Amino acid sequence: MIRRFAGPAAILLSLLVVLAGDTYEMDRGAEPAAAAVPPPAASPAADEIFSSPNLRQMANLPKGARVSGINTDLAFRGDYAFAGNYDGFSVYDISDPNAPEVAVQVLCPGPQNDVAVHGDLLFVGADSPSSDSDSCAGLEGVKIFDVSDPRRPRYVAVVPTECGAHTVTLVPGKGADRSVYVYASSPCMDPDDRITIVKVPLNDPAAARVVPAAGRLTTGDDAMAAGCHDVTAYPEKGLAAAACVGDGVLLDISEPAAPRVIARVRDDNFAFWHSATFNNAATKVVFTDELGGGVGRTCTPDTDSHRGANAIFDITGQGTRRKLEFRGYFKIARHSAGNCVAHNGSLIPVPGRDVMVQGWYQGGVSVWDFTDSRRPEEIAYWARADQSFIGGSWSAYWYNGVIYSSDLQQGLDVLRLDDPRTDPARTLRTDHSNPQTQNDHNRWCCR
């Protein structure tokens, strides 16, 4: 039985689990579109930065002396970015993207300390076991911090969850329900593993508890048989997409405490379903394949372009009859001798187009357009020739006009994208962003 992770990312898992809902077997002969951006003319030297002309670095903020573990994911609120790492989390002041600063670093060890923020609360997922419930170190489950003052985070509570919390996703309560629901995911191999749902009363977060009997995702009498690596929710659309042990899953989350499986899909080219992103209209889902578990060298000439890639699915049908229909793959065309694979990203809010920025570990940061689901193309890239055993961009997200990339070893990179195809997004603003809780860009305002 494999229960825990070995290394900084997911272990390769080959088990295909049976999930409730409809299954769509894709046409595995479809060819990915070639990237439109040419690769660098020569092999870069160690630590050399190389990029397309339309994407440049604005700043780099090293992770700091107190952080020895690798950096992980990002979340945003106002002028602050919250960055997880294996030692705890950092809070960055990003009021000036050209000169970000470390506001505070909190020591709270545990893999992988995935982060999400809602109002004055920060949620941190811990994936390692501990019997210590009185201190931060080693706690397993969902840790809650008060960040009403982002420079002075205050530990509130931990909610222990079976099999830990490798990733956390937030879904706000509906109507009079003044709660936020935390979907805690961890793709363990036990038969009874599942997405654990934690209900957090906003007026008393210390009273947060696991929702009884809500961990199994059901349709009728069938149940989900194994856990998921990550869930991306789109509450305004009542949908979520889950990257599970052997499947991509579309969920109905109109009742946040009781999600239901609508459809599922499998792909023989996928080694490990890692994460998901909707387009803004929620008519498409991009699933990522973490081939090599985040440590493999999978952007090589001898690795098939369908493997370690993104897979694009159109959502067809209505209501409980919706299906996931495969349309195409996208993988960066640049070869890398380092660990390189599709990882975390978010939409760039370009009106009328489907454009995504994404981290590829040592493959760097890629901006790509999937408006035509069958013919996605890369429109920009930025990378650092990192010689570490494992390094590069864990996640790359768009937030208020710029791109922030969490580099495993090198800290926070801030990038500026100048391209007529994406420039309309430069003026759109939001007051928060959890990339795994998408919101409608049509509600963003301008500055």
- pLDDT tens profile 262-319: 999 999 999 999 999 999 999 999 999 999 988 999 999 999 999 999 999 999 999 9
Q: Which of 119, 197, 103, 211 is nearest to 156 (CA)?
A: 119
Confirm whether 1 is domain-assigned.
no
Q: What is the mean pLDDT of residues 210-231?
A: 63
Judged on CB neighbours under 10 Å (0-12, 13-18, 19+), 223 is: middle
User: Does 9 fall in a domain?
Assistant: no
pLDDT attached to residue 186: 83
Q: Which residue has the higher pLDDT, 30 or 425?
A: 425
Each residue of 162-214: pLDDT tens digit?
A: 788 999 999 999 999 999 999 999 876 454 456 899 999 999 999 999 998 65
Please give the average per-residue pLDDT across 327-340, as a whole number.
93
**Containing structural domain, residue 412:** 22-446
> Which one has a higher pLDDT value, 413 or 139?
413
Would you say residue 7 lies in a domain? no
Percent of the residues in the chain that have a pLDDT greater than 70, as a whole number: 83
pLDDT (tens digit, 9 = 90+) per residue, 22-41?
333 444 444 444 445 766 65
Residue 116 has pLDDT above 70, yes or no: yes
C-alpha 256 chain-centroid distance? 19
What's the whole-number mean pLDDT along residues 84-99?
96
Residue 227 in any domain: the answer is: yes
Q: Where do we find the tokens 């991306």?
A: 232
**Which one-letter DSSP state was computed for residue 39?**
P
- Is 94 within a domain? yes
- Identify the band that residue 225 occupies on the pLDDT scale cut at 50, 70 and 90: very low
Quote the pLDDT of residue 49.
Answer: 94
Instruction: Please report whether residue 141 resides in a domain.
Output: yes
Q: Which of 292, 114, 121 is nearest to 186 (CA)?
A: 114
Across the range 62-66, mean pLDDT stands at 85
User: Domain total for the chain?
Assistant: 1
Q: Is 17 within the bounds of a domain?
A: no
Closest CA to 35 of 380, 313, 345, 291: 380
pLDDT of residue 187: 72
In a domain, 16, yes or no: no
Whole-angstrom distance, CA of residue 81 vs CA of residue 84: 10
Is the pLDDT at 252 greater than 80, yes or no? yes
Within 13 Å and on the Cβ side, how many CA atoms surround 64? 21
Q: Write the CATH number for 346.
A: 2.130.10.10
pTM of the model as a whole: 0.89
What is the band of 109 on the pLDDT scale with cuts at 50, 70, 90?
Answer: confident
